[in-house]
């Protein structure tokens, strides 16, 4: 497996520290608002990466924090006349629900910053004792001069970093790039007691302390959006490597930004769409599907048009699964089997699965891997086009079906419900079946079949009035009757 490492700017062979195990840390959200679709992209990317590691046989420990103390949370609490803890609780719960809605696996460990303060104070004490940090009026700063490798992750020298960023002149700092490990509490702010008086941790120290506490140091993979490379991750490296004199983490992975009208979606630019609002009118699987179409490191354009196109492509896969099920159910088991066609399909499925894995092993190329799903879809569509004959053809079609469901499942997209042809059919079909065909049960498929055979009967008897009334009743509910080689079937278009 190959992983692009931001630290070395190369794709490298992935070798975990302990054979068969992976320790992975992904920076979690600062919980002062609902997350937007851009944030969601980064979390989905690392979920797909994690799933591929698991599917490749690794035992993955996935740690992802919640930053529940921060200036933005305190500001929001003050605006709303609530405590910071109340604001943080509301949005951390909303975040957990949003991740669940998106099909993101919960982390193995989800540390909350406010519950890990002792570990952070410990890290800061060590840094002061080692001469890498200094106290100034209740604040504590990291002294970047004491870490000559500062800048190695972003690939910039200290001089470049200084000229590329605007810094407020702060008389408490020895150097403009020095950053806060601990902030003295202002009146009305949440605080913890510590050797330097009342205060709270800086953002960067949280991730250094929590990752080392739960994964040890070094650990295998650290992830986040590319906007976190500087200063957040650069500072995490400085703190952690100065604290314990060993490498912090071996592979740094960064996800590209989600863009809207060519600009990064962000709260500060006010061009964001909240994930919860987008998912109110959209199958979350379609959003994941859209995200998979772009490599995780590339910027990704988000637009209504791209979302609609993704919905269409997604529906192509779903529709193929439903068609396979229908053909399997209506196969002519006594007809002659096309051995050559079976062999061709088997080869196409096996090749698709192999290439899928190879693409995912190559730095998680989801876009190309998704292309392999479509190649299986194309092959099986051709295979079932004129119906299924004999048990062997049924078996081959089912194997293709299962491969598609499996590969989509590895992306975290559950297609199992697509196997139920009647998922989403309106209940009024049952009442209609009772009216026109005297059907009494509650099985949608049987109700549909009863209606169709009633229509066929009417047509045979040249009772056009009844036949037309059935067709019109069906189409009013969103159904069409498709006539196929194996007989008529209902299709539902919503
Ligand atoms: P934050 O709560 O701002 O720290 O962001 C949480 C995660 O979302 C971080 O990993 C960010 O890198 C990521 N993120 C923020 N904006 C975007 C965006 N427009 N596209 C992709 N990821 C983003
Ligand atoms: Zn972090």
- Are 288 and 276 in contact by the 8 Å Cβ rule? The answer is no
User: What's the burial of 25, exposed, middle or buried (CB within 10 Å: 0-12/13-18/19+)?
Assistant: buried
Task: Give a yes or no: residue 148 inside a domain.
Answer: yes
Distance of CA 450 from the midpoint of ligand 2 (Å): 59
User: Final residue of a domain: which of 419, 445, 466?
Assistant: 419
For the stretch 186-232, pLDDT in tens is 998 999 999 999 999 999 999 999 999 999 999 999 999 999 999 99
**Average pLDDT of the residues in 121-141:** 97
**H and E: helices and strands count for the chain:** 16, 15
Task: Give a yes or no: residue 176 inside a domain.
Answer: yes
Distance from the Cα of residue 361 to its chain's centroid: 18
Task: Give a yes or no: residue 15 inside a domain.
Answer: yes
CB of 265 closer than 6 A to ligand 1?
yes
Q: Are residue 396 and residue 451 in the same domain, yes or no?
A: no
Question: Which residue is closest in CA terms to ligand 1's atom 7?
Answer: 39
Q: Are residue 184 and residue 56 in the same domain, yes or no?
A: yes
Distance CA 42, CA 304 (A): 19
pLDDT at 486: 67
Q: Which atom of ligand 1 is the closest one to the Cα of 256?
A: 21
- Are 184 and 198 in contact by the 8 Å Cβ rule? The answer is yes
Distances (CA, A) of 161 to 13, 144, 234, 353: 30, 12, 11, 45
pLDDT at 246 over 90: yes
Q: Are residue 459 and residue 411 in the same domain, yes or no?
A: no
Axis crossing angle, helix 390-410 with helix 339-361, rounded to the nearest 10: 10
User: Final residue of a domain: which of 395, 419, 443?
Assistant: 419
Distance of CA 458 from the midpoint of ligand 1 (Å): 61
Question: Which residue is closest in CA terms to ligand 1's atom 5?
Answer: 29
Residue closest to 181 by CA, chosen among 114, 125, 219: 125
**DSSP strand pairing (258-260 vs 300-301):** parallel
CB of 42 closer than 6 A to ligand 1?
yes
Distance CA 238, CA 177 (A): 12
pLDDT at 168 over 80: no
**Average pLDDT of the residues in 478-491:** 80
Report the range of poorest mean pLDDT among 53-57, 158-162, 191-195, 356-360: 158-162
Q: Are residue 210 and residue 332 in the same domain, yes or no?
A: no
Task: Give a yes or no: residue 269 inside a domain.
Answer: no
pLDDT at 44: 98
Task: Give a yes or no: residue 296 inside a domain.
Answer: no
Q: Is the preceding peptide bond at 197 cis, omega within 30 degrees of 0?
A: no
Task: Give a yes or no: residue 305 inside a domain.
Answer: no
pLDDT at 494 over 60: no
CB of 65 closer than 6 A to ligand 1?
no
Going by the DSSP 8-state scheme, the letter that residue 107 receives in this structure is P
Testing ligand 1's pocket by substitution, the residue of 38, 67, 94 carrying the most ligand atoms inside 8 A of its CB is: 38
Report the range of poorest mean pLDDT among 59-63, 166-170, 305-309, 439-443: 166-170
Task: Give a yes or no: residue 276 inside a domain.
Answer: no
Testing ligand 1's pocket by substitution, the residue of 71, 73, 227, 265 carrying the most ligand atoms inside 8 A of its CB is: 227
For residue 40, give the 3-state DSSP assignment: helix
Average pLDDT of the chain to the nearest whole number? 94
Q: Are residue 411 and residue 448 in the same domain, yes or no?
A: no
Looking at per-residue pLDDT, the higher value among 280 and 165 belongs to 280
CB of 183 closer than 6 A to ligand 1?
no
User: Final residue of a domain: which of 419, 451, 482?
Assistant: 419
Which ligand is the nearest neighbour of the Cα of 208?
2
CB of 258 closer than 6 A to ligand 1?
yes
Distance of CA 270 from the midpoint of ligand 1 (Å): 14
Distance of CA 59 from the midpoint of ligand 1 (Å): 26
For the stretch 402-456, pLDDT in tens is 999 999 999 999 998 665 677 778 989 999 999 999 999 888 888 999 999 999 9
Which ligand is the nearest neighbour of the Cα of 232?
2
**Average pLDDT of the residues in 340-365:** 98
Distance CA 451, CA 431 (A): 11
Testing ligand 1's pocket by substitution, the residue of 25, 28, 39 carrying the most ligand atoms inside 8 A of its CB is: 39
CB of 66 closer than 6 A to ligand 1?
no
Distance of CA 88 from the midpoint of ligand 2 (Å): 17
Q: Are residue 438 and residue 404 in the same domain, yes or no?
A: no
Q: Are residue 372 and residue 437 in the same domain, yes or no?
A: no
Task: Give a yes or no: residue 298 inside a domain.
Answer: no
CB of 257 closer than 6 A to ligand 1?
yes
Q: Are residue 247 and residue 345 in the same domain, yes or no?
A: no
CB of 225 closer than 6 A to ligand 1?
yes
| 26 strand-pairing partners | 64, 223
pLDDT at 418: 66
Parent domain of 398: 317-419
CATH number at residue 338: 1.10.730
Q: Quickly state the pLDDT bin for 347 (edges 50, 70, 90).
A: very high
Number of domains in the chain: 3
pLDDT at 487 over 90: no
Of all residues in the chain, the percent with pLDDT exceeding 70 is 98
For the stretch 55-98, pLDDT in tens is 999 999 999 999 999 999 999 999 999 999 999 999 999 999 99
Sign of CA dihedral 41, 44, 50, 55: negative
Question: Which residue is closest in CA terms to ligand 1's atom 2?
Answer: 29
Testing ligand 1's pocket by substitution, the residue of 27, 35, 42 carrying the most ligand atoms inside 8 A of its CB is: 42
pLDDT at 231: 94
pLDDT at 252 over 70: yes
pLDDT at 411: 98
Q: Are residue 60 and residue 177 in the same domain, yes or no?
A: yes
pLDDT at 420: 66
CATH number at residue 133: 3.40.50.620
For the stretch 27-39, pLDDT in tens is 999 999 999 999 9
Distance of CA 228 from the midpoint of ligand 2 (Å): 8
Task: Say which residues have a Cβ less than 8 Å from residue 225's Cβ, sequence separation at least 6.
Answer: 38, 39, 42, 254, 255, 256, 257
Distance of CA 83 from the midpoint of ligand 1 (Å): 25
Q: Are residue 462 and residue 413 in the same domain, yes or no?
A: no
CB of 39 closer than 6 A to ligand 1?
yes
Q: Are residue 75 and residue 194 in the same domain, yes or no?
A: yes
pLDDT at 165: 73
For the stretch 255-272, pLDDT in tens is 999 999 999 999 889 999
Distance CA 92, CA 98 (A): 10
CB of 291 closer than 6 A to ligand 1?
no
| 64 strand-pairing partners | 26
pLDDT at 382 over 70: yes
Q: Are residue 155 and residue 126 in the same domain, yes or no?
A: yes
- Are 60 and 53 in contact by the 8 Å Cβ rule? The answer is yes
Q: Quickly state the pLDDT bin for 371 (edges 50, 70, 90).
A: very high
CB of 34 closer than 6 A to ligand 1?
no
Structural Rg of the chain based on CA atoms: 29
> How big is the CA angle at 250 (ends 229 and 222), to the nearest 5 degrees?
45
pLDDT at 430: 94
Distance of CA 390 from the midpoint of ligand 1 (Å): 53
CB of 319 closer than 6 A to ligand 1?
no
Residue closest to 90 by CA, chosen among 105, 104, 73: 73
Sign of CA dihedral 200, 205, 211, 214: negative
Distance of CA 39 from the midpoint of ligand 1 (Å): 4
Residue 235, φ and ψ in degrees, nearest 5: -70, -35
Question: Which residue is closest in CA terms to ligand 1's atom 12?
Answer: 225
Axis crossing angle, helix 339-361 with helix 366-384, rounded to the nearest 10: 170
């Amino acid at each position: 497996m190959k992983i692009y490492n931001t630290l070395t700017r190369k794709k490298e062979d992935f070798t975990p520290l302990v054979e068969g195990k992976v320790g992975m840390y992904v920076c979690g959200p600062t919980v002062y608002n609902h997350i937007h679709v851009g944030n969601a992209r980064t979390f989905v990317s690392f979920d797909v990466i994690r799933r591929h590691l698991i599917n490749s046989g690794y035992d993955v420990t996935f740690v992802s924090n919640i930053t529940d103390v921060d200036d933005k949370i305190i500001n929001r609490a003050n605006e709303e006349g609530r405590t910071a803890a109340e604001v943080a609780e509301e949005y951390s719960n909303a975040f957990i629900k949003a991740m669940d809605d998106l099909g993101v696996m919960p982390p193995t460990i989800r540390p909350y910053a406010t519950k890990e303060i002792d570990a952070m104070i410990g890290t800061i004490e060590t840094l002061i004792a080692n001469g890498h940090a200094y106290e100034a009026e209740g604040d504590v700063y990291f002294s970047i001069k004491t870490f000559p490798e500062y800048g190695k992750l972003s690939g910039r020298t200290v001089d470049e970093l200084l000229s590329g960023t605007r810094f407020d002149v702060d008389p408490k700092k020895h150097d403009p790039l020095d950053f806060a490990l601990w902030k003295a509490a202002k009146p009305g702010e949440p605080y913890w007691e510590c050797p330097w008086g009342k205060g709270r941790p800086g953002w960067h120290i949280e991730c250094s302390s929590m990752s080392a506490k739960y994964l040890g140091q070094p650990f295998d993979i650290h992830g986040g959006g590319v906007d976190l490379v500087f200063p957040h991750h650069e500072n995490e490296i400085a703190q952690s490597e100065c604290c314990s004199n060993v490498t912090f983490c071996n592979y740094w992975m960064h996800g590209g930004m989600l863009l809207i009208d060519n600009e990064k979606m962000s709260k500060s630019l006010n061009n964001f769409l909240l994930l919860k609002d987008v998912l109110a009118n959209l199958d979350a699987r379609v959003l994941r599907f859209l995200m998979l179409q772009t490599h995780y490191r590339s910027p990704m354009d988000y637009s209504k048009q791209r979302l609609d196109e993704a919905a269409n492509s997604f529906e192509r896969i779903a529709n193929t699964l439903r068609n396979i099920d229908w053909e399997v159910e209506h196969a002519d088991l006594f007809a002659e089997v096309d051995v050559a066609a079976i062999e061709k399909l088997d080869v196409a499925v096996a090749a698709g699965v192999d290439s899928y894995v190879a693409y995912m092993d190559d730095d998680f190329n989801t876009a190309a891997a998704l292309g392999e799903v479509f190649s299986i879809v194309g092959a099986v569509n051709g295979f079932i086009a004129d119906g299924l004959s004999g048990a062997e053809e049924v078996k081959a079609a089912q194997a293709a079906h299962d491969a598609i469901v499996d590969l989509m499942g590895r992306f975290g997209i559950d297609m199992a419900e697509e196997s139920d042809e009647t998922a989403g059919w309106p209940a009024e079909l049952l009442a209609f079946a009772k009216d026109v065909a005297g059907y009494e049960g509650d099985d949608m498929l049987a109700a549909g079949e009863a209606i169709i055979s009633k229509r066929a009967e009417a047509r045979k008897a040249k009772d056009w009035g009844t036949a037309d009334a059935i067709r019109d009743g069906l189409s009013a509910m969103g159904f069409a009757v498709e006539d196929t080689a194996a007989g008529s079937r209902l299709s539902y278009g919503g």
